[in-house]
């Protein structure tokens, strides 16, 4: 296993019970003593800390704006990005099958480990320490997140734009899927016959590729994007 002291320095927290840290890094593919229950607890702590932080930072934001901003900060992709900043993949304890399939780079496993780490700090110390960890590892993302700018996703915006103009909805079609199961790349085409526009999008999932394609359509229509 990689040097846990180094990881603790990156987290800004020294564990009293290092066993909790090890468990937080242990995937269910290893055995029964894994981080699944910790994920559940860490998710709740993360959600509350982010919600309160946004509530205090943005007193004029509406409930909907705050909800969208929170969703942006706690979503899988954001947490996986945090995990990569911490080089967490180097510390994960995975079963042989997950190791062979590249589990240490998978967004779902990385994001779950971040949540488990938050819970581990809570169990090792207290709620204030866990919340402080959330603020440390998400500091820059929290600071740059403006609820007023967390607009609806591109697919929703495109649909609403077309509906407002009484036009037919777009059609999404998967053009190609490349790569191995754990690192696939999807190419999707978005066709808007009513506007005479066809755009493509690429991403690590069909959903991401569709969002990119919709975004490219919006850009071609001249729709303002933040």
Indicate which residues carry an active-site annotation.
43, 115
Contact 25, 93 (CB under 8 A): yes
What's the rounded Cα separation, in Å, for the pair 176 and 192? Answer: 19
Q: Is 63 annotated as a binding residue?
A: no
Nearest partner of 46 among 178, 124, 136, judged by Cα:
136
Q: Quote the tokens at residue 56.
A: 């205090």
User: How is residue 26 annotated by DSSP?
Assistant: B
Q: Is 112 annotated as a binding residue?
A: yes
Going from the C-alpha of 75 to that of each of 16, 80, 170, 223, the distances in angstroms are 29, 9, 26, 26
Residue positions forming the annotated binding site for Mg(2+): 39, 112, 115
Residue positions forming the annotated binding site: 39, 112, 115
């Amino acid at each position: 296993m990689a040097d846990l002291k180094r990881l603790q320095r990156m987290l800004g927290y020294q564990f009293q019970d290092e066993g909790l840290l090890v468990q937080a890094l242990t995937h269910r593919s290893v055995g029964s003593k894994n981080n699944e229950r910790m994920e559940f607890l860490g998710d709740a702590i993360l959600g509350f800390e982010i919600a309160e932080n946004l509530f205090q930072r943005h007193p004029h934001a509406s409930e909907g704006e705050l909800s969208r901003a929170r969703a942006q900060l706690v979503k899988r992709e954001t947490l996986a990005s945090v995990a990569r900043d911490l080089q967490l993949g180097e510390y994960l304890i995975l079963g042989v099958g997950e190791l062979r399939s590249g589990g240490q780079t998978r967004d779902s496993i990385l994001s779950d480990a971040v949540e488990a780490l938050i819970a581990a700090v809570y169990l090792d110390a207290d709620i204030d320490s866990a919340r402080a960890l959330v603020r440390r590892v998400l500091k820059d993302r929290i600071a740059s997140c403006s609820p007023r700018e967390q607009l609806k996703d591109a697919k929703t915006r495109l649909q609403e734009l077309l509906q407002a103009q009484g036009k037919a909805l777009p059609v999404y079609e998967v053009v190609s899927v490349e790569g191995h199961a754990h690192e696939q790349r999807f190419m999707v085409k978005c066709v808007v016959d009513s506007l005479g526009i066809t755009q493509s999008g690429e991403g690590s999932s069909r959903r991401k590729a569709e969002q990119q394609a919709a975004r490219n359509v919006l850009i071609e229509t001249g729709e303002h994007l933040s």
